[in-house]
Structures are given as structure tokens and as C-alpha cells.
Amino acid sequence: SAPTIDVRSGMDVESLKQAITEHLFYQQGRNIVNTSLNDLYMAVSHTVHDRLLQHEHKTMNAVFDNNNVRLVSYMSAEFLMGPQLGVNLIDLNIMAEMEQAVQELGFSLNTIMAQEEEPGLGNGGLGRLAACYIDSMASQQIPAIGYGIRYEFGIFDQVIRDGWQVEITDKWLRNGNPWESARPELAVNVKFGGHTESYLDSNEYLRYRWKPDYMVTGIPYDTPIMGYKVPSCNFLRLWKSEAEESFDFSSFNQGDYYKAVEYKVKSENISKVLYPNDEMLGGKKLRLKQQYFFVSCSLQDMMNIHLRFDGKPQDFHKRWAIQLNDTHPSVAVAELMRILVDEYHVDWDVAWHTTCSTCSYTNHTLLPEALEKWPVGLFAYLIPRVLEIIFEINYRFLKEVSSRFPGDNGKLSRMSIIDESGEKFVRMANLACVGCCAINGVAELHTELLKQQILHDWVEMFPERFHNVTNGVTPRRFVVLSNPGLSNLIIESIGDKWPGKLDELRKLEPFADDAAFREKFRSVKLENKKILAALIKERTGVVVNPSSMFDVQVKRIHEYKRQHLSVLHIIALYLRIKQNPDIDIVPRTFIFGGKAAPGYFSAKLIIKLINSVGDVVNNDPDVKDRLKVVFFPDFNVTNAQLIYPAADLSEQISTAGKEASGTGNMKFSMNGALTIGTLDGANVEIREEVGNDNFFLFGLTAAQVEDAKRNGYNPHFIYDNNEELRNVISMINSGRFSNGDTNLFKPITDNLLWHDPFMLMADFSLYIACQDLVAETWKNTAEWNRMAILNVARMGKFSSDRSIQDYCEKIWKVKPFNIRKA
Ligand code: 26Q
């Protein structure tokens, strides 16, 4: 009998083909013969989206029908999602079926997947972490919603012109987004500006009313987030800002059409563009509006859900656990109080208990200057009622501090939510620490340093609130999807349970000593390197040798991450070749990638330096192609998925004590790269897991860095006493890399010689020695691959599934919800 085709939910090849053909015609108005690649991508994606919606619908019905389920609300100003088609096919377990369906229609799935424009709604680590976590929450069957902002323009596209970074607007919605559904019926309004009034309610209680200048409407857009090989499907809910329709200008200003147009533009601007800084740089009014906008929309939405299922407002915490991704959404503490007290007339003390029981805060930085603070005047102007509530929270909190620590005025001023040392600021981390029942760092070292340094007072006040949850990454995207060669090799050897249970990778350990396996492992890596080499040729024009060592540093450009330390090493190698052209040297390809914040001049100059050194080294005949330096433009999730699988050496060389965790470090190791790194962030734990012998460690420890600073660190002294270092710096200053311009890179070299806040000079000789050991090890292919296989085998801890289990147990107190059993 003919197969039964199910166009909307069938997972077999025939159903998929039929669904694609129908979507192509009824949504795109095309047929197989006249389709464009993008129409085809849209049709395939709508086909997958249909299937996700079925799971989402069933999951949410099961969850909301059960009054005892606590849901997680992951609030983040950034979700760096990356392309969606591939991961969804993996999660639904229909990659092979879709490949065949598309092939039978005459196309290639890889080409179709490459057509997707990724949603780059984040800067880097913090935004990508949020994306890994919503993936893992779905896979662990934790009912959850990710709440954020639907930026019209995400992180800028980077192009390199004459060695410099140029920023191009990211028009990711240009060709349509098949993964989202607008939900205008769930729109909510957010107040801005104006003033507050007091009044007596019907019970003669004193209440406050916020009379805003204007309101903005938030429209939610939902994207389904499928779990890996489980029926659970959560969603990401991102808010778009629009003008509030009923807002009436005529009552103020007779028919002022232009005022109305201005108001419309002002409203839509809120969700227009992601701020491309990955640190707090001077308070931009629009950024604070973005934060309050998405927090208020999300809390109203959560309250609507709670009430729809018969919850009482003061029981909000029984339905919801909120995780604040850094302080960006921390105004939630005050906004939830405002909603409970002003809108639902809950007593202050009850509301405070509800709020504190709902919220938890993740810190992602140790740099005191990076802590978010906003001028009190800006708060008063934009969200006056919220500021009053913050004052009230602070007043009550400081009373508690003085009774716990009588006479300790230092503590009072340090812990106050308001910084009153000069111009007054609202300190967002303090607001989060006061109003959250749990506070966590993102790696063991980071959490320890947090407790010793910037949050020390808070540990004394609330020791029980502190936790560590070491970051993790999703192996579905960063191994299964991006490295099919390695995945298939692992599956052949230990089965296919590991992507959902990464500790299973331990079973690979014995294969490290198996020469035949090592050979297969090596050839998978080589194939990945060939693919990347072709891409490098296409994007930069540079020809690289796939059998050279791929030495990779990809991450945002930052002085503390020390991309320029690697540049110093490259120049040292180049000098060795120039001094002795016949020297025996391991061929290396240095690959850099990463965006600089548009206003961060030093970071942009580091990009120029990398490209300039590349121009000289790549074209010097003495080098005989033994060294190549490549700056891979526009590092994003799509490109990352091609780079990690092709890396031999992972550079994780931040100044100890500065990188909170790092997550790229984990993605490299999972793909069989060895790490050269400092004892910083999660490097410490990666080394602990893979074994000291399988990790190239160098550099000062965090404690040594602090000691050196206290004892008057003198970078110039180190320079004076190290000839190789002097030659490297001289070469930069000679103008050799800048067409004779001896000033171009002066800001970098002067800073290193006279200030060197990130201690490159102190770590230089240790780094060079360690790199020499790396080169020696590389010469022994069997040994290198043995170490690399052990790295893969021991990465179980760094699955984001483990991180999410930690959050569930230590912080959220929620359990997996099996919708099949519900
Ligand atoms: C804040 C206020 C105003 C404007 C911008 C910001 C802002 C935006 C983004 C501040 C910081 C960020 C991003 C920070 C970030 O990505 N931190 C990284 O988080 C990772 C996940 O925990 C860690 O692995 C990295 O170590 C940490 O640097």
C-alpha cells in the first residue's frame, strides 16, 4: 500500500519531501524548478519548524496542566544562538532523512544549511552561554523559557580593510526568519518617564501610582528550542518594541502628527540594535531602556502565565525560578517588587520574600571597573517609580547591615545599592546581591576570587547564597553538528549515547593507546583542516598548509586575553628564521579571529598588528611557508563551527585572574585540540580533568600576579634583561610591519614597556619556553594524538548538561519533567 504521508509531522523521507514542496509553493510561491537557494532554505526550515511546534505545544500543555511544576526563566540581554537548521535536525534525529529528502529533490543539505544567516544577538561568551543553556534545559527536560530582546540588528559583521576592522550592520532578518512566530495577542506595555503619585486605596492603604510620560508595547516572538532526542520542547521569547497604539497625542497637542511619528520612532528604537561592547562603558540611556523594557515585558508575561493557572501573586516564586545572566536584567528585582506591591497590592514584606525566593544572579566578571552602574539621575528620568522602590529596598537593607555590623561605615558605603562617593550611581551588582537567594560564579577559581575580592562583604553577610557553577557548552552543536568526522569515529568506537551523556566519552580512553584509532583520529583532523584551509583561501587569499600545526586563538579581542602575547611569539619565531634561515622549525599556521568593540582603540590596533605581521611573514621567501599568520574575518557561531574542529593548539592565555571562565577553551578540547594556557578561569578545571601531562601550562598564577602588582611591577626591567624580547619589540618599533611607520604600533609597545597591566612582559619567557615544548611534542605525532584523544575522552564535565544539572540542584530546586509520564 502507498505510504501515508504526514506533511506536518511525518519524519520519513516521503513526508519531508512533500512538506518541502508544499512550503516552497504555498509560502514562497516557488516550485522545485524555479526555486532560489533561500526559498529552498525557507521551505526546509518551515518543514522542520512545523515539527518543532508540535513538540512545543505538547510540552507546554503538559507543563501548564501541572500546578506543581516550577519553571525556569533564563533572563539575558543576549542570546548568541547561531544557525538553527542543523541543530534542530540533530535534536529531532532526522538528519539522515532530511539529507536524503533534499537529495532526491536535487539539492544538497549542506548548501541549504550554509544559506542560513545566524541570529547574532550577543557579543561573545555570555550570550553564547545563554544559548548553550537553553539547549541543555530542553535536553534535560527542564521546563524553561529564555527571555530576551529581539534586536533588529545583532552584533555587527566584521570585514577587514587594509588590516583594520570595519563594522557592517548585521541585517539578519533581511531574508525572513522561519524559526520565529510573533505572538501579538500576548503583547504587554511598559511605562517610561513621568512621575509618581500617592493615593489611598479602598481599604485606606497608602499606595503609589506611576503616571508615565509614555508607554511602549512589547511584542513577543517565540522560537522553539528542541531537546536532544527527547520529546520536550521549550521556547525562547524575545521582545520587539513598538509604539503603544492607543497613546493619544491630541489630548496634549492638537493633532500633532509629527510628534506622533517621533514617538513611534523612539519606541521602535528600543529593540533596534545590540550594543557591541562586552563591558560596561559609560551609561548609554538607550541601553538602560533596553534592559528595563525586556525585564518588564518578561515579568508581566510570567505573571500573566502564573495567574492564568490560578496562582496567587505572592506565590510567584512557586511557579518561577528566575536566573539573571549577569546584572543586565537585575532591575528585575525592583520591577518584580513594583508589580507585586503597586499592581497587586501585596504587602511589602511578603513581596520581598517572593522576590528574593524567585531570583538568582550569575556573575561573569572580576574586573571591578566592569561592574554595571547607572547614574541615579538617569534612573529618575526613565523609570522614577522603579528608583523609589530601589531606595526603599536600600533603606531597609542598610538597616539590616548596621544591625549585623554595628559601626562598620565602610561596609555600609560599599554595600549600599547607591554609590554616593561622587556623582550618585545605582550599582546593579549590589541590587542583584540584595534581592537574589543565590549568587554564583562561572568557574571554581572565579567563584573563589569573587568571594575574596569584589563580593567579599556579601559573603560575610550572606554566606549561604554563594555557589559555583562551572560553565559548559553543548556537545550537540559543537561536536555532533560541527565535527561529523570525529562524531562518527566516536560512535564507531563507543556507541552513540555520549552526546546526551558526555561522561560516556571516558570509554574512549583506552583508544588513545591504539595506533589504528590514532591514525583514524589524525585523518579526521586533517580533513577538517583541509576544509578550513579552503575557507581561509576564500576569505583572506592566504594559502595555508593543512599539515602544519593549526595554532588558534579565536575570541573577542581584549587586552586581558592577550592576543598580542601570541603575536610576540610569532615575531620571535620569525626572528629565529631571519637569524638562521635553515633552522629546523615546526611549520605553524597561526589563526586569529574575533571582533573588537567599535570604540576600543587598543583592540582594533591589535587586529591591525596581527594583519601587518601576517603581511610580512606570509610573504617573506626566507620563511619558506613554514609560518603563516591569518586573521579570519567575522568570527561568529557559524565560522566557529568550522574553526574548532580544525584546531591543533588552543590558545587560552589570559592574565591569570582575569578571565572568569572561558567557554571556547572547552569547545577546542572537545574537538581534540591541545591547550596552551594559564591557570585562569575554567582552564584550571580543564587541566585537572585531562591531566597535567596533557595540558601545556605556563605563566604566573593569579596570586603571583597580585603579588607582583603589590610589590611594584616593573615591565621595563624584564625587557632590559631579555634579549629575545628586546629584539621582538624593536622589530615592531622599527616600522618593519608598518611600511616604515615607527609610530603606528607605539601605543601597544609603550604600554607594554611602561605599564603592562596584563603582564605580558612577566609571562613572555615562560610562554616562549612552553611553546618550544609544544613544538617538540608536535614532532611526535603518536604522542600528540594520544594526548589529544585523552582530551576528548575527559571532557564530560564541560557539557552544559552538567552545568544545568548543577543549577537545578544547587539553585533552582527543579527536577526534570517527563512529558511522556505526565
Ligand atoms: C554592560 C552594560 C552596558 C553595555 C554592555 C554591557 C556588557 C555586555 C556584554 C557587559 C558584558 C558583556 C559580556 C560579558 C562576557 O561575555 N563575559 C564572559 O562570560 C563568559 C560566560 O560566563 C565567560 O566564559 C567569560 O570568561 C566572560 O568574559
The three state secondary structure string of 482-515 is CCHHHHHHHHHHHCCCHHHCHHHHHHHHHHHHCH
Secondary structure of residue 414 in the 3-state scheme: helix
Atom of ligand 1 nearest to the CA of 556: 16
Q: What is the pLDDT of residues 624-637, one digit of tens each?
A: 999 999 999 999 99
**CB-CB contact of 247 with 236 (8 Å):** no
66-83+118-471+806-812 folds as Rossmann fold (3.40.50)
- Per this entry, what is the length of the chain? 822
Quote the CA–CA distance of 774 and 780 in Å, as a whole number.
10
Q: Is the CB of 180 under 6 A from ligand 1?
A: no
Q: What is the pLDDT of residues 667-703, one digit of tens each?
A: 999 999 999 999 999 999 999 999 999 999 999 999 9
* CB crowding 762-795: b at 16 or more within 10 Å, else e: bbbeebbebbeebbebbeeeeebbbbbbbbbbbb
What is the pLDDT, as a whole number, of residue 250? 60
Q: Is the CB of 419 under 6 A from ligand 1?
A: no
φ/ψ bin of 194: left (φ > 0), alpha (ψ from -120 to 50), beta (otherwise): left
Cα 326 to ligand 1 centroid, rounded to whole Å: 8
Nearest to 451 by CA among 428, 800, 407, 443: 443
φ/ψ bin of 145: left (φ > 0), alpha (ψ from -120 to 50), beta (otherwise): beta
The yes-or-no answer on residue 589 being catalytic is: no
Q: What is the pLDDT of residues 294-331, one digit of tens each?
A: 999 999 999 999 999 889 999 999 999 999 999 999 99
Quote the CA–CA distance of 815 and 132 in Å, as a whole number.
19
Catalytic residue among 663, 678, 786, 794: 663
Q: What is the mean pLDDT of the chain?
A: 97
Inform me whether the pLDDT recorded for 101 exceeds 90.
Answer: yes
- Compute the average pLDDT of residues 328-355: 98
Residue whose CA is at the smallest distance from ligand 1 atom 9 = 278
Q: Is the CB of 290 under 6 A from ligand 1?
A: no
Cα 561 to ligand 1 centroid, rounded to whole Å: 13
Secondary structure of residue 677 in the 3-state scheme: strand
Residue whose CA is at the smallest distance from ligand 1 atom 4 = 280
Nearest to 656 by CA among 612, 705, 613: 705
Quote the CA–CA distance of 193 and 195 in Å, as a whole number.
7
Cα 124 to ligand 1 centroid, rounded to whole Å: 7
Question: Would you kindly state where each structural domain of the chain is located, as residue ranges?
Answer: 1-65+91-117, 66-83+118-471+806-812, 477-798
The yes-or-no answer on residue 561 being catalytic is: yes
Cα 767 to ligand 1 centroid, rounded to whole Å: 26
Catalytic residue among 49, 289, 451, 556: 556
The yes-or-no answer on residue 564 being catalytic is: no
What is the pLDDT, as a whole number, of residue 246? 77
Q: What is the pLDDT of residues 494-538, one digit of tens each?
A: 999 999 999 999 999 999 999 999 999 999 999 999 999 999 999
Q: Is the CB of 662 under 6 A from ligand 1?
A: yes
Inform me whether the pLDDT recorded for 747 exceeds 80.
Answer: yes
Quote the CA–CA distance of 452 and 248 in Å, as a whole number.
54
What is the pLDDT, as a whole number, of residue 2? 59
Rg of the chain (C-alpha set) = 28
Q: What is the pLDDT of residues 759-801, one digit of tens each?
A: 999 999 999 999 999 999 999 999 999 999 999 999 999 999 9
CA dihedral defined by 386, 387, 388, 390, rounded to 10 degrees? 90
Question: Residue 218: which pLDDT band, with cuts at 50, 70 and 90?
Answer: very high
What grid cell was written down for 630? 591569518
Residue whose CA is at the smallest distance from ligand 1 atom 3 = 280
Angle (deg, nearest 10), helices 85-92 and 95-104: 120
Q: Is the CB of 123 under 6 A from ligand 1?
A: yes
**CB-CB contact of 45 with 178 (8 Å):** yes
The yes-or-no answer on residue 569 being catalytic is: no
Helix, strand, coil distribution of the chain in percent, nearest 5: 50, 15, 35
Grid cell 566519552 in the structure block, residue: 505
Quote the CA–CA distance of 153 and 175 in Å, as a whole number.
13
Cα 126 to ligand 1 centroid, rounded to whole Å: 5
Inform me whether the pLDDT recorded for 252 exceeds 70.
Answer: no
* Statement: 477-798 belongs to CATH 3.40.50.2000: yes
Cα 128 to ligand 1 centroid, rounded to whole Å: 10
What grid cell was written down for 114? 550554509
Cα 380 to chain centroid distance, Å, stands at 31
In this structure, what are the phi and psi dihedrals at residue 166, rounded to the nearest 5 degrees? -125, 135
**66-83+118-471+806-812 and 477-798 share one fold:** yes
- Compute the average pLDDT of residues 213-229: 98
Quote the CA–CA distance of 76 and 636 in Å, as a whole number.
19
- Compute the average pLDDT of residues 406-415: 98
Helix (H) or strand (E) holding 676: strand 674-677
Q: What is the pLDDT of residues 68-92, one digit of tens each?
A: 899 999 999 999 999 999 999 999 9
Question: Residue 282: which pLDDT band, with cuts at 50, 70 and 90?
Answer: confident
In this structure, what are the phi and psi dihedrals at residue 304, rounded to the nearest 5 degrees? -60, -40
Quote the CA–CA distance of 329 and 432 in Å, as a whole number.
9
Residue whose CA is at the smallest distance from ligand 1 atom 19 = 126
Helix (H) or strand (E) holding 517: helix 515-540
- Compute the average pLDDT of residues 539-553: 98
What grid cell was written down for 380? 529618575
What is the pLDDT, as a whole number, of residue 281? 78
Q: Which residues pair with 148 in a beta bridge?
A: 238
Secondary structure of residue 780 in the 3-state scheme: coil
What is the pLDDT, as a whole number, of residue 204? 93
Q: Express as a percent the part of the chain with pLDDT over 70.
A: 98
H, E, C per residue of 64-85 = HCCCCCCEEEEECCCEECCCCH
